[in-house]
Every structure is written in structure tokens, then in C-alpha cells.
Structure 1
Amino acid sequence: MLVAALWVSGWLAFQFPGPAWVRYGVVGAWALFAVGTAVAVGRARAGRWPGPVFVTVLVVTGVWWLLVAPRQDRVWADDVAQRLKVVAFDGNHVVLDNVRNFTWRSEDDHDVRWERRAYDLDQLRSADLILSYWMGPTIAHTLVSFGFADDRYLVFSLEIRKERGESFSALGGFFRKFEMTLVASEETDIVRVRSNVRGEDVYLYRLQGMTREQLKGLFVSYLGEARKLDAAPAFYNTLTSNCTTIVYELARQIAPGLPLDYRLLVSGYFAEYARDLGVLTPGVPFATLKARGRITERARAAGDAPDFSRQIRRGVPGIEQGIEP
């Protein structure tokens, strides 16, 4: 009964229509009723069912859950306003529409640019794991940056698709509060906004041990995810469909034996998980990988320099040896 009551409370808090004071009033009334029902059941003989009103609320809420559908037509925040589109892909050459290339001066002051880009996957040379810490050491946003032979980088990031004026809530992510979107972006946008504008602490690790085909396969997996989300919207889920679990699911397509691990949920420790899988630079202690992979200060010093990507990678272990199989 406690679990059911908490679930209904969360659903009402994030989905009940109207202003906040109305939602919280409804949640408070439900909480009082649920506690009263639980006490009544506890005082009765063992095995007694909750009252019919309690059960009715559970059933109605469950039906409501099933009827809420994700949408593509909301008034979205600027940074997630467009959907990534795979315009063309012949197995080697891909054309992407709506690659994000904003210039950020502050959260509310930025130049909006969504661009069409073409990439030759035969020129793929590297993949970097990027973790951006925004809420203490246990929670980080996970991104993967692909490097090409011409020194271009493309970053993929699964994010909530915020409505204008909306902000992220980890609890809301359990109750179908947010749709999700896959963003493809320049590092000067998606990395710099986190380190230089939002004040997050950012780390970069070179991924090792992949063949060219595996590297290409990981990139192509992101294209598949982009196509799915372009064709049909989906809800973000804090537990099962977030920025870290999507990396795991995509990587598992090229390495099916990847083990499940609590660090897929406690994303701040995802780099340690990658280390244990043997995909970070070998022969370097993790403490060194983390210390030298911290790019926060280098990103802030680089500012809007044209060689931003090169500057943030200075001293990162494994960068000099690349990805050559």
C-alpha cells in the first residue's frame, strides 16, 4: 500500500493539471486519505483489502498512465527545439540535419544555429566518453564525442526535451514528465555550455580497444536512435531511458556481453565502469585518468577559440595514440 500510495502521489504531483498549489493540495489530500486507509487496514484483521476508494484511485491512475502519450508538438526550449534527422546514409556517408551549433553567452543569451552536416564514416578515428557533473559526485550527464580525421568532432547526447521555461527533475523523469531527444552537436556548443556557462565540472576519457568497425557500429547505433525518435516521440525515464543507459544499450549492440552494473544508474561512476570493462587507456591508474581527464579549466581558458577541441584534450591519456586498430 505504501509503494502504491507513493506512486500515485508522484503521478499527481507531476501530471495533475492546474497551478502548483492545486497539484500540491490534491497530493496532500490523497496522502491523508492513503495514510488513513493504511491505518484502518492495519487495525483490521490480517489480509484485509484496502477500501474500495483506494483501489479505485489506483485503477484510475493506472489507466491515466497508459493514456498519457509523448508528443512532438510542444513549445520547446531553444536548445531542443529541433529533432535530429538522418537525411541520407549509404553505409559510409551520412548527412544529418539539425546539428546544433549554438554560441552561448549565458543560459538566456545565445545564437541559435541548427545546421546540416555531412560525415564520412571511413574518416572516423576516435570516440571519447564525456561526463559532466551538475549535481554532486554521484550524478553526471553522459555524452559521447566522435572524432574524424579532419579534426572535426560530433557529440551525441540523449536529453530531456524541455518545454520552454521547464527545468529538469529527476523525480519527474519517473512519471512521464518529459519527452526525450537525441542531440548531435559541436563540442564548442554542447561541451562549452556545460563547462563555461552552466558551471558544471567536465571530464573526458579516450575510449580504447575498439576496431574501426566497432567504432563505426557505435556511431551507426546513434543514427538508429535518431531515426526512432524522429519517427515517434518517447518518454525519458530517470531509471530506464536516460543519458547513461542509452550509451549502454547502444554499446551492447556491438558487444552483447556487456554486464549490467549499478553504475549505469549512479552515472557519476560510469567512468569506473568503463575502466573495469577495459575500454579506457590501459596502463594508467584511474586516479591519473580522472585528474588529467578533467577538462573544466582548459575549456574555460579556451573560451570560444577555434581550436577548442584540441585545447581541451591536451594531456588527456590516450589521445596521442588515437584509435588506429
Structure 2
Amino acid sequence: MKRLVYGLGNALIRFFLLAMSGWATVAIFYSNLPFLMRPWLSGLFAIGSLLLLVGKYSTRRTRLGFLAAFALVLTWWLFMPPSNNRDWQPDLSTLSWADIAEDKVTVHNIRNSDYRTETDFTVHHYDKTFDLSKLKGVDFFVVYWGSPKIAHTMMSFDFEGQGNVCFSIETRKEKGEDYSTIKGFFRQYEIIYVVADERDLVRLRTNYREDGKGEDVYLYRLNAGPEFARKVFLSYLGEINRLKEQPQWYNALTDNCTTSILKHTMPYNPNARLDWRLIVNGYIDEMLYERKTLDTCLPFAELKKQSYINPKAQAADKDPAFSQLIRVGLPGKEMK
């Protein structure tokens, strides 16, 4: 029995060490080192780790040697500095920020791009002053671009008589750079809060992506009153001001479009708690429905069906009343 326990313990330790080796190998490959050095160094680390951890060369001393090497890689990775100074894609090159003076908030550099296709567009920005006393609610977008298990999420704040301002938490990509989920775990992208018109952020997804067919977009009105909306809105503004001064890495698991929303809403939501659907976030609307954060007068399947806005968004297209038109017939009550 002791031999069995020892064998299982040894196998478990070896598994974790090999997992650490795999992580460090990929971290070196997706590092900020010169491109030609990365495959060689990651390959050497992988081979060296295998020699130190398995086979006849594996001893307690070699494992300690591996741990020392891993600690060096981890320390170097943790201290890789994010930057606001790169050759950014034009739609992500300008950061938003805000001036806050009691109930008056001026948001600078709200994006309102003019799209001809997903990749052919002209970027525009404008400044706008909002009256916090006019903030009446917040809405939630769920966007599917592939698997129904994973989605992109956005929040939009509704100011009575002043329109909506939408926030999308994204990877800040450089020119010629594409998104990779694997790279998203390894400090390859800075995080950006895109503050924009719904005619930009929503219409891009409903009307222009997927070769003009659009991604599937659902719009839910949250059961949240003005006080909650105000606190969350100010939390968002605090973050965009911080990111303008102190860039931060995006992480596909811990700092993404959904977990970052949780960071802004959890302090003001007594019903907030962790849930597996915060990670597999294609089901997050189902979670919100169960917690009565969404309107529950309809069965969930019917609520979701009626919350699908692509046909309305495609019909509205460049109409200045885009935000109002995509909400026509939307389930849920507007909070006063």
C-alpha cells in the first residue's frame, strides 16, 4: 500500500512538473524575444526539461534544477511590461478617457467608425458630455462568432435624451496582428476598453463581420436601476483612465471581456457569485436569467429568441436612430 501511494504521489508530481514545462515552453515561444530566437529557445527548454524530469537522468537534484529554470522563466514573464506605444491597428490606436465633475461626465474619444466592410473603414472619434442624473439603465450584449459555448460580451449605458454609450473590452492588436486564443494566455495583447457608439460596436458585428453575414448578436435589458448603472458606469470610467496611464495585459482566462465586466459589477451586485458560465460564457445569458437579472416573464428560450437583434440592426444600418430601432419590441422593462 505504501508503495502504491508513493508511486501515485511520484506520478502526480511528475505530471505537474511536465505541465509546468509545457507552460514555460509556450511562454518562451510567445515571448517578446527576437522572432528567430524563440523556436530555438523554446525547443531547447522543452528538450532539457524532458531530460531533467523523465527517464534515467531524472533525480531529485535534476528536478530542483528544472524548478530553478522554471522560476527564471516565470519571473521574466511576470515582469514583461505592457505598453501603450505600439504600431496599433487604426481602430484601436486611440484610447478613451473621461473627465468627471459631480454629475457631469465628459468622455473623450468615443469611437464612431464609418464601415464599408469589416476591414475597410474610416475611424472617427468625438467627445460627449453626459449627465449622470439622466442615466436610467444598462443593457447587455452577447455576441457569438463561432461556437455557441463562447461569446463576446458588451455593456451599454442608456442616458435619457442623450443616447447610449457602449463598452467593449478587447485585445489591443497591432497592425497585421490577428487574435489567437493561445496567445491570449501569454501576454501577447494589451487590454483595451473600446468606448463607442452602438452604430460602431454593434453594427460592426451584426452587419459587417463574417463576410457581411454578421455575427449573432443578442441584446438583453438588465433588471438594474439607475443607482447600479451609475456605480458600474463610473467604475468603467475609472478603468479607462487607469489604462490610459498604466497599460495592462489581456488574459484569455482572467482578464477578458466577461471577467472584466464581473470586476465592475460584482461590488454592487449582492447576487454576484462565481459560476462556470463566466468562463464558458456562451451560456452567460442563461445564468443571468436564472438569477433574475434578466426579465423572467417569458421562458428563457423565448426571451433569447426575441432578444436576437440582427434583422433589426441590418435594417437600421446607418440610421441615426440605430439604438432605438434595435430595441423595438425588446423584452424587459426599462428601469426608471
TM-score (norm 2): 0.88
Give the aligned partner of residue 168 of structure 1: 179
Partner residue, 1:17: 33
Q: Distance in 1 between matches of 2:40 and 2:334?
A: 57
- Answering whether residue 195 of structure 2 is matched by residue 180 of structure 1, we say no
**For 2:116, what is the secondary structure of its paired residue?**
strand
Give the C-alpha shift of residue 217 in structure 1.
Answer: 1.2
Alignment gaps of 5+ in structure 2: 1-16
Question: What SS does structure 1 have at the residue aligned with 2:334?
Answer: coil
1:135 to 138, 143, 146: 146
2:51 and 2:58 in contact (8 A); partners too: no
CA distance in 2, matches of 1:158, 1:54: 37
CA offsets, 1:135-176, max 9 Å, x none?
311111110011121261110111111111112122212111
Aligned to 1:95: 106
| Counterparts of 1:117 and 1:93, CA distance in 2 | 10
Rounded to whole Å, the distance in 2 between the matches of 1:122 and 1:254 is 18
- Please identify, of 308-317 and 158-167, the stretch whose mean Cα deviation from structure 2 is larger: 308-317
Q: CA deviation at 1:27?
A: 3.1
Q: What is the aligned partner in structure 2 of residue 244 from structure 1? A: 258
Number of aligned positions between the proteins: 316
SS in 2 for 1:15: coil
TM-score if structure 1 supplies the norm length?
0.91
Percent identity of equivalent pairs: 35
Contact persistence 1:96–1:116 (CA under 8 A): yes
**Do the aligned partners of 2:141 and 2:219 also contact (CA within 8 Å) in 1?**
yes
In structure 1, distance between residues paired with 2:94 and 2:242: 14
Q: For residues 257 and 206 of structure 1, what CA distance do their matches in structure 2 show? A: 17
C-alpha contact (below 8 Å) 2:136/2:225 kept by paired residues: no
The answer to whether the 8 Å contact 1:132/1:202 transfers is: yes
Shift of 1:100: 0.5
Shift of 1:203: 0.7
State the one-letter code of the partner of 1:192: R
2:97 and 2:241 in contact (8 A); partners too: yes
Q: Distance in 2 between matches of 1:273 and 1:10?
A: 33
Q: Pick from 63, 83, 101: which aligns with 2:75?
A: 63
Letter of the 2:126 partner, please give it.
E
Structural mapping, 1:206-217, within 5 Å: 206-208=221-223, 210-217=224-231
Which amino acid is 2:80 matched to? V
Q: Work out the CA distance in 2 between the residues paired with 1:238 and 1:49.
A: 35
Structure 2 counterpart of 1:8, which letter? Answer: A
Task: Name whichever of 303-312 and 246-255 sits farther off.
Answer: 303-312
User: 5+ residue gaps in structure 1?
Assistant: none
Is 1:146 aligned to 2:161, yes or no? Answer: no
Would the aligned equivalents of 1:289 and 1:316 in 2 still touch at CA under 8 Å?
A: no
Q: State the Cα distance separating 1:25 from its structure 2 match.
A: 4.4
* Deviations 1:49-95 (CA, angstroms, capped at 9, x unpaired): 43566344313212211321111111111121111111x21231100
Instruction: Find the counterpart in structure 2 of residue 38 from structure 1.
Output: 53
Query: In the aligned structure 2, how far is the partner of 1:311 from the partner of 1:213?
Result: 26
